[in-house]
Amino acid sequence: MFGAHTPEILMADLQQPESPRSASAEQGPAAVFLTHAEAKALRAQAEADSLIGRSIRAERAQVDAWMRTPVSVPGSGPGGGVEHEQHKRNYLMIFAAGRQYLIWQQPGYAKRIADVLSVYAERYTALPFAKPYSHNPPGRLFHQILNEHMWLLFAAAGYSCVRQELPEALRQRIDEGVFAPMVGMFTQTYRHHFDIIHNHGMWACAAVGVAGIACERRDWLELAVRGQFGDSETAGFLAQLANLFSPSGYYEEGPYYQRFAIQPMLLFAEAIERAWPELGIYRHHDEVVRRGFYAAFLPSFPNGALVPLNDAIKPMNIKSLGFVLGASFMYRRHEADARLLWLANLHGQVWPDAAGLALSDAIAKASPDALHCELPSVELLCGPKGDKGAVGILRAEGRHHEQAVLTFDAGSHGLAEHAHFDALTLGYFARGHEVLRDYGCVRWINIEPKGGGAYLPENVSWAKQTIAHNTVSVDGGCQHRADAELAVANPSHRLAFHGSGDAQWMRGETVGAYPGVAMRRTVALLRHADFEHPLLVDLFAIEADADHTYDYALYYDGQVVRTDFDYTPARNLSPLGTDAGYQHLWRVAAADLPAGRGLFSWLQKSCYHSLCFATSGPSEFIFTRIGANDPKFNLRAEPGLLLRQNGRDVVFASVLETHGDFDESREFSQGARGRLLALEIEDGGKRLRLHGSDADWLVELSDSVSIHRV
Amino acid sequence: MFGAHTPEILMADLQQPESPRSASAEQGPAAVFLTHAEAKALRAQAEADSLIGRSIRAERAQVDAWMRTPVSVPGSGPGGGVEHEQHKRNYLMIFAAGRQYLIWQQPGYAKRIADVLSVYAERYTALPFAKPYSHNPPGRLFHQILNEHMWLLFAAAGYSCVRQELPEALRQRIDEGVFAPMVGMFTQTYRHHFDIIHNHGMWACAAVGVAGIACERRDWLELAVRGQFGDSETAGFLAQLANLFSPSGYYEEGPYYQRFAIQPMLLFAEAIERAWPELGIYRHHDEVVRRGFYAAFLPSFPNGALVPLNDAIKPMNIKSLGFVLGASFMYRRHEADARLLWLANLHGQVWPDAAGLALSDAIAKASPDALHCELPSVELLCGPKGDKGAVGILRAEGRHHEQAVLTFDAGSHGLAEHAHFDALTLGYFARGHEVLRDYGCVRWINIEPKGGGAYLPENVSWAKQTIAHNTVSVDGGCQHRADAELAVANPSHRLAFHGSGDAQWMRGETVGAYPGVAMRRTVALLRHADFEHPLLVDLFAIEADADHTYDYALYYDGQVVRTDFDYTPARNLSPLGTDAGYQHLWRVAAADLPAGRGLFSWLQKSCYHSLCFATSGPSEFIFTRIGANDPKFNLRAEPGLLLRQNGRDVVFASVLETHGDFDESREFSQGARGRLLALEIEDGGKRLRLHGSDADWLVELSDSVSIHRV
């Protein structure tokens, strides 16, 4: 059924299409994203020393560079390969060149778009299907149609800027040669995949809808909006919006995919608002577009990286395209929220359209203070109705106004494809770095020799497994037996959330992630004058109907500084287990802790962290390192630790103190020991007693959470 | 003999010394580093928006902060501990406060110096000796007298700014209470260690000499200059200068210790020039001070880090104190070399004295181009006579003017204490990072819980061993049987050096580092239009009188992308050997290469590297990771590779291609495969044939080195 992988480079000079009909586009219908009046206003600002001026000129420079290269329309290739990157560059540049054409009124841009699309039109249907890499259907240009959706959305939008001026025959050739067959492939050939509730469905709908506006095919637009069943509820763009976002705006697949999904969401919403204003898309479903956008940057660290819940490329951050689009669109379509000015200033650009122009003007007039924003602590409810648990983000300032961020996932499993079995997982960011770390996904994105950049087998065997996360695994297994259906049907519960003041905390519960086991975790971020940085407190209490082995895992980065217990380094390293992710962990060293207590300190770049921990019974402390059973070196060899406790009802308690400073280039260190020496669990975990060398502190952890010196 | 470790905090308010005699220091003798006229000139510039103005004010802010804390003179403590850091802060601030006093004429600075020194004077001789950490004798303030030398140098210099104004009784109390006993300890108690040829000796001489100037003890000054035998040849400052630097200015202990040794060298030279100008110290021994300074920054990478030869803290860079001092002193005492402007501009500061004032003025007048400097390729001859081999630094520009730097050590062993057994080791820096990496030393400097910040046992068992370096180990052993005397007596030979043009190269030889084995290595950095970045070429040829096992090791950083050969990952990890450093390497995976050829690619941050290699016979490729037998987690768990070949006369050849771009936060990758596919050794290594997918290249490696396409 699928054709062989046959990349071929077609040069435009083999085939010259007719020139565009007219050099001026002052008249004629509007393009998908820009009216002639708007283009004129942008032209007036295009040479200004402002965000909008710089944004327009930066885009123009990219387009001009593309125009100096020969037209190239290859066959398909793997992710990150030459062909993949060429098609990607083509669609992004067609999109940009259309806008630049309307702004500058230079016919060269229109001609280039027509030239490139002519080649696509001539060859598209003759290209064989690409080699598929996953269960995603392949396109003719890309190995998965997701990328072909993106091609369609961006190329159609660019095309709309010049289409009216092309000779009828050429226009028809392009419409029929590439746009119509592509839409046909998406909506007919792959109908089963077309508008499923998923980020791929979001892209598919947006692409077909924008192509409908561009090619004046109202039927495509309506199909995209209302879905293949026409009910606006089970499929299509409106259904996506209703089902993928919670009332808090949290997106089922997690922040990394939210970042990705808001691109088609915003682009299609804006296109609909222009072509079909009666639909009132920005007010639809209680302003879900707005909610989905604002919730997308709340789960981010102070360095801009998105919190890596579920499958995530970890450096991905709030500078990516969706946030640039959203800052401008939201500013124009909703209100002048201060966070939009902060975002655009962070980006150093605005979207080069009428919305970006308005935002740029506002920033030029804003005071420096208005461009600053400290994100708040927030609880993001999960599930379309907000009744499937919650993800919490607690933020507190440490010394020098450095923000510490605790993240806690007591929410829903998410959509199966990208979800991890990590209920009650904990994350922590402090002093500029992720301290308690989530692995993210196993994927070397767009690195063609690494499986074409696709998700790798270790994504399932490691990254999705419970043991890969900062939570508790039971009897060496994965939550919900790694069965996504079970997990989806059994979200966590949020029991409490307090996101303000010096004692911020959250509590969540998971019952039945392991049969007969109930887990309740209370996490807190406590500020106290005795500590230079907030303390992270973690109380993990488990009740079960039988005895089990419980593994409390944490992943960190850096170098071990000290422990207050003796341990035995392994002479040879063996994997910690045979399955459920344990097969990927080397057992590096271990210690028996009959009293169930210890202190573990490490150095991470410029500071130290000390974990004081206690278990309700005797426990074992295991030093781990990722990398066993990794025959292709797909995994990063990062260290971790594991506290193992046997019993029926157990408690794991820990307090993480961040302290000191280290600058190796200056040979400077101070505060390499923290104030805390030991921790005791009192009253079954309702209280923790912290021992320091010169003081003790009590942490109350029952109906409310607090810390005080005793 | 040594007292127990008894830190004690003494507060100044227990004991108030008399106030300084006068608030004005306009009259009276000059301080060690500043005349009244110079201080007046600095005062005139102190509020200017210039480098000198900013430097003076930055120092003043530090001093003012110190003055807001109570006077604190503790006992001794471990490196990086509270006591250690307090003494360090005290001497640096006494030094700075003296200068600030002369500049601003504010009596508070003088009073503070007197207050602090009074407490030292009262307590010093009563303090027990510290707990020693190494064979270094302990001081009373620090665990090694090296730090006490530093205390003396800086504190005496600061004291000299106020001494003349103190009441006679107080002056005498300070002279006799701390400075005289300290000098006595250095020159009498530890006479055996005092002025040995070594960085410690350099510090000791400088400290005693500066104290002599400050306390008007000409006998101390002469002792420091001429040495304890009075001959200026076997010991003392003049002997240090003559023996520690080669004609090229290369320092026997390597760049990290050169950076350290130039501090006392420059300070004492400048002090001598002022107090004893007839000595002509700056012209002494063919301007060795000048040569020693300029050679100190030549072995540095484009990011400023010093090349980590021998024991080295790796992030240490050319921003450290010695380079700030040197830029200013050299500018005043020698000539207006453009590199000094570049350095000072890089530092963002000048030394706050008359020399810095002149340099600051020059920078203010310089064009931006004059502040830019590309360091040249250079060969640094080793040994006081320049006849003990050489260290080569080859530099070539790649794409976007990024400089690639190849380093090759075919020099002397260096002084035993800090030398590594790494003859013919290779280093490579490209695209902003160290690519072929040297481990540096095993020391967590100033991190008190890590062995007090001292060198750790793994420095000997790992870092000094041959296998820890990018060179060849024979029969699993260390060069010269890890015997420093043998190694010192048998330096490498430099055979050729060509440091300019598109084909830069160097050749060196080591005979007898292993009995009956001669090793000759030719390394090259080749620019060719077919490659975006210079190619690194490495030909390692060995001739022996019997069969051996040869291990060619390279250490890299990053993630394996691909190999063109199959390998077998280890199910369990075992150490690669039992001694000579092999006990610290895990054997992670291995491949038999019957044809002795392969390609190995990895990703390091923003780009890819591919190593095409060939061996003259069948070989084994072993993936390693550092960290076995490391019970205290003192080592960094970094990856390496090892090519193992058995035979008598063998050749290892490799070409490293740097290619492509990766930006994970933008999900962007291009060029993940390089142009090279394979390498063939021709004519016993006189020629290498490089195979690409679309071309071949020949590298000639005999009397000269070149590359051309065939």
Q: Look up the CATH number of the domain holding residue A497.
A: 2.70.98.70
What is the reported pLDDT for A499? Answer: 97
Judge contact between A200 and A244, C-beta under 8 A: no
In tens, the pLDDT along A222-277 reads: 999 999 999 999 999 999 999 999 999 999 899 999 999 999 999 999 999 999 99
A89 at B interface, C-beta within 8 A: no
pLDDT at B556 over 80: yes
Extract the tokens encoding B289.
């001070």
Find all residues with CB under 8 Å of B339, minimum gap 6, and list them.
B294, B297, B373
Q: Which amino acid is at A232?
A: S
Extract the tokens encoding A246.
């919670």
A258: distance to nearest CA of chain B, Å? 15
Task: Give the sign of the dihedral formed by CA A348, CA A354, CA A355, CA A359.
Answer: positive
A69 at B interface, C-beta within 8 A: no
What is the reported pLDDT for A8? Answer: 35
Extract the tokens encoding A547.
């005895």
In terms of phi and psi (left: phi > 0; alpha: psi -120 to 50; beta: otherwise), the region of B123 is alpha
**Residue after which a domain boundary falls, among B181, B203, B225:** B203
Out of A1-10, A133-142, B472-481, give the one with best mean pLDDT. B472-481
In tens, the pLDDT along A564-589 reads: 999 999 999 999 999 999 999 999 99
Domain count of the fold of chain B: 2
pLDDT at B15 over 50: no
**Residue after which a domain boundary falls, among B203, B224, B244:** B203
Tell me which residue of A142, A231, A139 sits closest to A184, measured CA to CA.
Answer: A139
Q: What's the rounded mean pLDDT across residues A63-68?
A: 98
Q: Which of A446, A627, A668 sits opposite B669 (nearest CB)?
A: A446
The pair phi, psi for residue A586, each rounded to 5°, is -80, 140
Flag whether A342 is in a domain: no
A696 at B interface, C-beta within 8 A: no
pLDDT at A558 over 70: yes
The pair phi, psi for residue B323, each rounded to 5°, is -75, -30
In tens, the pLDDT along B575-634 reads: 999 999 999 999 999 999 999 999 999 999 999 999 999 999 999 999 999 999 999 999
How many other CB atoms sit within 10 Å of the CB of residue B478? 24
Q: What is the DSSP string of B346-371?
A: HHT---SSHHHHHHHHHHHHS-GGGG
pLDDT at A56 over 90: yes
**Residue after which a domain boundary falls, among B186, B203, B220:** B203
Flag whether B270 is in a domain: no
**For residues B697 and B689, what is the distance between their CA atoms, to the nearest angstrom?**
6
> Distances in Å between the alpha carbon of A629 and those of A473, A573, A581?
20, 12, 10
Tell me the CB-side half-sphere exposure of residue A73, using CA atoms within 13 A: 26
What is the reported pLDDT for A11? Answer: 33
Q: What is the CATH number of the domain that holds A184?
A: 1.50.10.100
Which helix (H) or strand (E) segment holds residue A59: the answer is helix A51-67
A412 at B interface, C-beta within 8 A: no
Secondary structure in 3-state letters for B452-510: HHCECHHHHHHHCCHHHCCCEEECCCCHHHHCHHHHHHCCCEEEEEECCCCEEEEEEEE
Per CB-CB distance under 8 Å, the chain B contacts of A446 are 667-669
CB pair distance less than 8 Å for A559 and B601 = no
Q: What's the rounded mean pLDDT across residues B658-665?
A: 96
Select the residue from B439, B573, B576 to test the A interface by mutation, using most A Cβ atoms within 10 A.
B573
Judge contact between B154 and B200, C-beta under 8 A: no
Which helix (H) or strand (E) segment holds residue A620: the answer is strand A619-626
What mean pLDDT, rounded, does chain A reach? 94
Flag whether A69 is in a domain: yes
Tell me the CB-side half-sphere exposure of residue A18, using CA atoms within 13 A: 14
**For residues B409 and B510, what is the distance between their CA atoms, to the nearest angstrom?**
11
In tens, the pLDDT along B310-325 reads: 999 999 999 999 999 9
The pair phi, psi for residue A679, each rounded to 5°, is -135, 140
Q: Which of B82, B313, B623 sits opposite A667 (nearest CB)?
A: B313
Flag whether A314 is in a domain: no
B183: distance to nearest CA of chain A, Å? 26
Select the residue from B572, B604, B675 to test the A interface by mutation, using most A Cβ atoms within 10 A.
B572
A448 at B interface, C-beta within 8 A: yes
pLDDT at A612 over 60: yes
Tell me which residue of B105, B215, B128, B203 sits closest to B164, measured CA to CA.
Answer: B215
pLDDT at A28 over 80: no
CB pair distance less than 8 Å for B673 and A446 = no
Distance of CA A315 to the CA centre of its chain: 9
Flag whether B347 is in a domain: no
CB pair distance less than 8 Å for A670 and B447 = no
Instruction: Please state the ipTM of this predicted complex.
Output: 0.92
Extract the tokens encoding B260.
């350290």
Q: Which of residues 590-609 of A touch B (CB under 8 A)?
A: 601, 603
Which residue in chain A has the smallest CA separation from B305?
A665
A418 is catalytic: yes
Q: In what order do the strands lie in the sheet with B535-544?
A: B493-498, B503-514, B517-526, B535-544, B650-659, B607-615, B597-604, B559-563
CB pair distance less than 8 Å for A669 and B453 = yes
pLDDT band per the 50, 70, 90 thresholds, residue B29: low
**For residues B263 and B351, what is the distance between their CA atoms, to the nearest angstrom?**
12
pLDDT at A689 over 90: yes
Q: Report percent pLDDT > 90 for chain A.
A: 90
> Distances in Å between the alpha carbon of B369 and those of A388, B47, B339, B345?
62, 27, 12, 12
Q: Which of B603, B639, B670 sits opposite A85 (nearest CB)?
A: B670
Flag whether B452 is in a domain: yes
What is the reported pLDDT for A184? Answer: 97
CB pair distance less than 8 Å for A669 and B80 = yes
What is the reported pLDDT for A596? Answer: 98
Per CB-CB distance under 8 Å, the chain B contacts of A639 are 637
What is the reported pLDDT for A29? Answer: 60
B578 at A interface, C-beta within 8 A: no
The count of CB pairs under 8 A between chains A and B is 129
Flag whether A334 is in a domain: no
What is the reported pLDDT for B83? Answer: 94
In tens, the pLDDT along B214-272 reads: 999 999 999 999 999 999 999 999 999 999 999 999 998 999 999 999 999 999 999 99
Find all residues with CB under 8 Å of A209, minimum gap 6, and list them.
A220, A221, A224, A225, A237, A268, A271, A272
Per CB-CB distance under 8 Å, the chain B contacts of A319 are 665
Cα angle, residue A612 at apex, residues A609 and A613 outer, rounded to 5°: 135
**For residues A526 and A413, what is the distance between their CA atoms, to the nearest angstrom?**
28
Q: What's the rounded mean pLDDT across residues B125-146?
A: 90
What is the reported pLDDT for A172? Answer: 97
Flag whether B426 is in a domain: yes
A665 at B interface, C-beta within 8 A: yes
pLDDT at A17 over 70: no
Tell me which residue of B579, B571, B585 sits closest to B625, measured CA to CA.
Answer: B585
Q: Which of A186-200, B54-68, B497-511, B570-584 has the lowest mean pLDDT?
A: A186-200
CB pair distance less than 8 Å for B561 and A629 = no
CB pair distance less than 8 Å for A315 and B603 = no
Q: What's the rounded mean pLDDT across residues A282-300?
A: 96
Select the residue from B259, B324, B448 to test the A interface by mutation, using most A Cβ atoms within 10 A.
B448
Backbone Cα Rg of chain A: 27
Overall pTM surpassing 0.90 (yes/no):
yes
Q: Of A198, A418, A480, A548, which is the active-site residue?
A: A418
The pair phi, psi for residue A607, each rounded to 5°, is -155, 180
CB pair distance less than 8 Å for B603 and A672 = no
Find all residues with CB under 8 Å of A447, minimum gap 6, and list them.
A80, A453, B561, B603, B662, B669, B672
Which residue range forms the structural domain that includes residue B95?
30-203
> Distances in Å between the alpha carbon of B114 and those of B120, B121, B123, B124, B210?
10, 10, 14, 15, 18
Which residue in chain A has the smallest CA separation from B588?
A628
